[in-house]
Amino acid sequence: MKDRTLTDELRLLVSRYGLDKVDVELQRLVARQPTTVTRSKPKPNGDVSRKARRPRARVKAPEYVAKMDIEGDRIATLLALAERFEAKSFLPRCADIRNFCHIHGIDEPASKSRAGAIPRLFKHLAAMDPNDIQRLLDENAFSGPAELGPLADAIREHGRAARGPNAVREASATFREPPLPQDEAGVS
């Protein structure tokens, strides 16, 4: 937790010098940086070991599942999930995989790629209660960040059905950003 330490150290500085002084000094430091700020160490050129490695054929999730030793009744659901994984409608991004592991109490896969996570993910899924796997499938769960457009449409649709054309107003207030404080909203 590098950021944690940074926060603690900053807190220390702020308590010693006051927020304003620390802020001014930071601004000064930032201003002195060359325009292209190097955020992290550059990768060494010519990484021989990587180049020498032969590209491995990527195993697709359905192929992986097909080779697993699973009882007949759950293979179909698992294959369907694997298809969705390939189509990126189940755990579409690495962050979704991380969250899935987090929620299911399994270690995050060491691999940074989706493909690399397949073995750990599908081993865990295969061991899950068949009803729970089926539910993942039925409810189209873990399909990534919500799309706000279709959600707003669905609410509007439901609103029209439930209470007529004026229903839309409240729906549009969902996921609103906090309003700007007066002094920043152009009132000076």
Residues found near another protein in the complex (CB under 8 A): 3-4, 7, 19-20, 23, 93-96, 98-100, 102-104, 132, 135-136, 139-148, 150-151, 154-155, 157-159, 162-163, 167, 170-171, 173-181, 183-184
Looking at the Cβ atoms of 86 and 96, the one nearer to another protein is 96
**78 CB neighbour count, 10 Å cutoff:** 23
Q: How far apart, in Å, do the first and last CA atoms of the chain sit?
A: 41
Show the tokens assigned to 149.
């457009």
25 touches which of ligand ADP, another protein, none (CB within 5 to 8 A by kind)? none
Q: Is 178 in the site for ligand ADP (CB under 6 A)?
A: yes
63 touches which of another protein, ligand ADP, none (CB within 5 to 8 A by kind)? none
Looking at the Cβ atoms of 24 and 148, the one nearer to ligand ADP is 148
Counting beta carbons within 10 angstroms of the beta carbon of residue 96, is it exposed (0 to 12), middle (13 to 18) or buried (19 or more)?
middle
User: Using an 8 Å Cβ cutoff, are 32 and 53 in contact?
Assistant: no
How many residues at the interface with ligand ADP, by CB under 6 A? Answer: 2
94 touches which of another protein, ligand ADP, none (CB within 5 to 8 A by kind)? another protein
For residue 150, what is the DSSP state?
H
150 touches which of another protein, ligand ADP, none (CB within 5 to 8 A by kind)? another protein
**109 CB neighbour count, 10 Å cutoff:** 18
Q: Is 177 in the site for ligand ADP (CB under 6 A)?
A: yes
Looking at the Cβ atoms of 72 and 181, the one nearer to ligand ADP is 181
**67 CB neighbour count, 10 Å cutoff:** 9
Residue type, 81: L
172: Cβ–Cβ under 8 A, 6 or more apart, which residues? 152
Shortest spacing between CB 173 and ligand ADP, in angstroms: 9
Looking at the Cβ atoms of 145 and 178, the one nearer to ligand ADP is 178
Looking at the Cβ atoms of 138 and 177, the one nearer to ligand ADP is 177
Distance CA 71, CA 126 (A): 9
